[in-house]
């Protein structure tokens, strides 16, 4: 059986000499490969009008973590901690989320990827959780702690894809973000929540696989429930062939 090709989005970070470097954590690729998929870097310079043509070469899309989405795209409050805004990445990832939602293409969003899904479908974000969510836990744990540090629990909602995939009603997760969902997009279902009330998982229920998680399962290779997320993603992508 041919391995399903998964388009993986990447960031273009500006260096000190004002050039751009394309960057991607290897763990995304290794998690897809371990689950039986073939990860391929998605061409981030794809014009939105040619999106359908390019996406046709993939069987699933992974929206990875990274810097912040432009707050203007969701009428967010300005905040000095907003960093790394990349209009090109925002544009292509939001278009990808909408296209995959409309065309039933398997999509997994991780950290920033979950936030992209929510913004694409009409939701909003906290531009800084610690300042804007009263009683918030410490969500930006890196670099004070390692990327695999289990920071807090999430409660998983029953009768969701996420609970069926993981077999869990709660999980201990890592946490590497300072932004998060404020208002959930109308078409999304909350599938996981942290003890402070922050939404940590979302899904589009009437879709073969359209899932976002706020934590980083790719950094937890020895966690069966977390790796099950990638396995379910690749199974859904395989069925698309």
Residue positions annotated with a catalytic role: 111, 216, 218
Query: What is the C-alpha end-to-end distance of the chain, expressed in Å?
Result: 10
Comparing CA positions, the residue from 26, 20, 64 lying closest to residue 42 is: 64
Helices (H), the chain: 26-34, 51-55, 87-103, 112-120, 129-132, 161-166, 224-239
Residue 152: C-alpha distances to residues 26, 80, 99, 108, 221 (Å): 24, 26, 33, 22, 18
Q: Taking the CB of residue 88, how many other CB atoms lie within 10 A of it?
A: 11
Cα–Cα distance for residue pair 161/235, rounded to 1 Å = 13
Cα–Cα distance for residue pair 104/201, rounded to 1 Å = 19
């Amino acid at each position: 059986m041919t391995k399903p090709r998964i388009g993986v989005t990447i960031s273009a970070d500006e260096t000190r000499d004002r050039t751009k470097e394309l960057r991607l954590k290897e763990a995304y690729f290794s998690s897809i490969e371990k689950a039986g998929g073939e990860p391929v870097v998605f061409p981030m310079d794809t014009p939105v009008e040619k999106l359908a043509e390019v996406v046709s070469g993939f069987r699933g899309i992974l929206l990875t973590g990274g810097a912040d989405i432009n707050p203007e795209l969701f009428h967010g409050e300005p905040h000095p901690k907003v960093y790394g805004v990349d209009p090109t990445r925002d544009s292509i990832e939001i278009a990808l989320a909408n296209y995959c939602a409309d065309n039933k293409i398997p999509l997994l969003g991780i950290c920033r990827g979950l936030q992209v899904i929510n913004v694409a479908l009409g939701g909003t974000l906290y531009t800084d959780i610690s300042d804007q969510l009263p009683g918030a836990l410490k969500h930006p744990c890196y670099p004070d702690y390692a990327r695999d540090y289990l920071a807090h629990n999430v409660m998983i909602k029953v009768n969701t894809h996420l609970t069926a995939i993981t077999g869990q009603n709660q999980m201990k997760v890592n946490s590497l973000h300072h932004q998060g969902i404020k208002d959930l997009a109308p078409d999304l279902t909350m599938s996981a929540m942290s003890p402070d009330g922050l939404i940590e998982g979302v899904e589009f229920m009437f879709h073969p696989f359209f899932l976002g998680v706020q934590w980083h399962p790719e950094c937890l290779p020895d966690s069966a429930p977390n790796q099950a997320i990638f396995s379910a993603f690749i199974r859904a992508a395989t069925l698309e062939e």
